Amino acid sequence: MRIYDISVPLSAELPVYPGDCALEITPWSRIAAGDEANVSRLTLCTHAGTHLDPPRHFNDQGITVDEIPLERLIGPAHVVEIQGVHLIGRKELERLPVKGVERLLLKTRNSRLWKEHQFCQDYSALSVEGAHFLLEAGVKLVGIDYLSIEGMDGDGSVHRTLLNGGVLVVEGLNLSEVEPGEYELICLPLKIKGGDGAPVRALLRGGGAPGAEPDFDPHTTKWPLA
């Protein structure tokens, strides 16, 4: 069973959302300088790279990242592909197998933007209408392949609609190597107490057509990695 790492590597070259603090990785101690061990200092925003938005991100009374039940972040997920669209709304989503899907990942043209070191403002995003549609469809987690699920001209309404409606948001995914279909999502954020967000290591396992038999044999301890 193949494992897809859909997280982007944290580095100083990674684009950051306008207004967020820059990501810095600097040496603290180095063996080459006579120190006992290599240690680095990491400075970053809680919404850097591939990250999770909990309700607290847009609501002072919302739950924080460390309060999210892990079962919300691990389980079946469906990747759908939407190309050639700047704003994803009801019309685009209702054509796709979305209803009844608990964890939905949106693959767009955004995944190509990770090749650019500069932040690109012209990314595909979800509309408020699209956010309401996902609530109606019963989605509990939605992910997208750039640093925000809401467009640059948004006023936070997309985030508030989703987060206040109980939908977790994962931003900054890289789905360029992932085909549409059913997978198992494993998405674990840093356990930041009171966190309004946190970087995550997100993985997809499996793939293939709906109903396809998995390659993993539950009667063996050998877990295939590729």
What residues does 106 pair with on adjacent strands? 80, 144
190/188 Cα distance (integer angstroms): 7
Q: From start to end of the chain, where are the E strands?
A: 3-5, 24-29, 39-43, 51-53, 74-81, 87-88, 103-107, 125-126, 141-144, 168-171, 181-189, 198-206
**Residues in the chain, overall count:** 226
- Catalytic site includes residue 219: no
Report d(CA 171, CA 58) in Å as an integer.
15
Distance in angstroms (rounded) separating the CA atoms of residues 198 and 46: 5
Q: Which of 47, 57, 78, 159 is catalytic?
A: 57
DSSP 54: -
For 36-114, list the strands marked E by DSSP.
39-43, 51-53, 74-81, 87-88, 103-107
Please give the positions annotated as active site: 57
